[in-house]
Structures are given as structure tokens and as C-alpha cells.
Amino acid sequence: MRLILIGPPGVGKGTQAVLLQEKLGVKPLSSGEIFRKEIEAETDLGRLAKSYIDRGELVPSGITIEMMGKRIRADEVRKSGFVLDGFPRTIRQAEALDKMLDEMDMRLDKVISLEVDDEVVIERLSGRMSCTKCGEIYHLEAKPPKREDLCDKCNGPLFLRSDDKPETIRERLKVFHENTAPVIEYYAGRECLLRINAEGDPSEVFQAILDGCK
């Protein structure tokens, strides 16, 4: 299957992408995760991306489209299908994705829009921790790790994302409403758009996605 998860920061895109990978075998491609790996590896792309991410702004679309295009076109991803998390985030990116898929003679199965109020986003992001090694996502209240600051799955140390500061979260939300909400409208005329109320716990949201993908 070829899926997109779209929604505000902290709505649970990364959480659902992992569940979809486990259930459907689709490859998760998170633009944010890819940028964070580049930052950690101190590459030129990482340095450039960091200057935008730390301010809660979008990395320029040209660079992002090229980076995601390489991965979407990879043989392994053509076979497994994908779940895009955080891409496309602008109309320009959505048009570029359409062009890419057309060239490969492929169609999107579902564009899954995860929807919650802004206050829920702030709650979710204020308690998030992620594993430095395997990327597993935790939450102080909704999904606490069994041992403080260590990953249940791989024992890796947990970290707080540098863009989860209150002022950066506010900017990310503003950027979502201005740039990414129109992308949901872009897909609204197509049968593939699936709107999901994402206020329930992760397993309820996941079940709603699976029901909508039948």
C-alpha cells in the first residue's frame, strides 16, 4: 500500500507509522526523522535543515522533495509500499509527489489526515521522549518507558527533541495551519482522503485507520 499520514505536529504520525509498518509491512518514510539523522551525522544537509527545524520553520521544499524522491523511488520501497510521515507538507511538495508517482505509474491508496485540537498537540509534545538508537516514541503519561530514560525495546537512552520547546511548538502549529492544512484540502476532492479523529488512544486511532483502509 502507498499511504500518507498528514496532521499537526505531535498528533501521532510517527506512532501510527510504526504500527502500520508492523501490520502491513509498508516502509515508513519520515522526513523529520531523515533530517534528524542528517543533523546527527553533521552533514551539509543536516546543518542546513537544523537552522530551520530549530526555529520550527519548514526546510525549503526543493531540498526536501529531492531527499524524499530518492527514497520513494528506491527499488525496495517500490516493492514494500510506503507510509509517508511529514511529507508532503506544502502544495508544492504534494504536486511534486503526484508527478513522481505518475512517472512510476503508481497511485496513492490513502491520505490519512489525523485531526485533533491544538491543545491536544501541546499536551502530547510536552510529554514526548524518543529513543536515540531505534527511534521508539514514548510519552510520560500515555506511554511511559518501563525504566526511566531507557528504551524498552533496545535499552537506548531517551532524549527530548530540541524543537519541542513551547515557543517552537507554537511556531510549528502556525506553520501547519498556514502551509499544511491546504494540502489536506488539495486531497479533499479525491476518494483517497481519510479523515480520522485522533483524540483517542493510539490503539483506537490505529483501528480507525485500519477500518478506513479496508
Residue 88, preceding peptide bond in cis (omega within 30° of 0): yes
DSSP annotation string for 91-149: HHHHHHHHHHHHHTT---SEEEEEE--HHHHHHHHHTEEEETTT--EEETTTB--SBTT
- What span, in angstroms and rounded, lies between the C-alpha atoms of 109 and 90? 19
Residue of minimal Cβ distance to ligand AP5: 32
Task: Out of 2, 72, 138, 194, name the contact with ligand AP5 by CB under 6 A.
Answer: 138
Q: Among the options 13, 27, 50, 110, which is catalytic?
A: 13
Active site residue 13: yes
- CB atoms under 10 Å from CB of 20, counted, come to 24
| Residue 156, SS3 per DSSP | coil
22 or 103: CB nearest Mg ion: 22
Task: Out of 14, 28, 88, 135, name the contact with Mg ion by CB under 5 A.
Answer: 14
As annotated, the active-site residues are 13, 89, 128, 161, 172
Query: By the criterion CB under 6 A, which residues form the site for ligand AP5?
Result: 9-15, 31-32, 35, 52-53, 56-59, 64, 86-87, 89, 93, 124-125, 127-128, 137-139, 142-143, 163, 172, 198, 201-202, 205
Query: By the criterion CB under 5 A, which residues form the site for Mg ion?
Result: 14
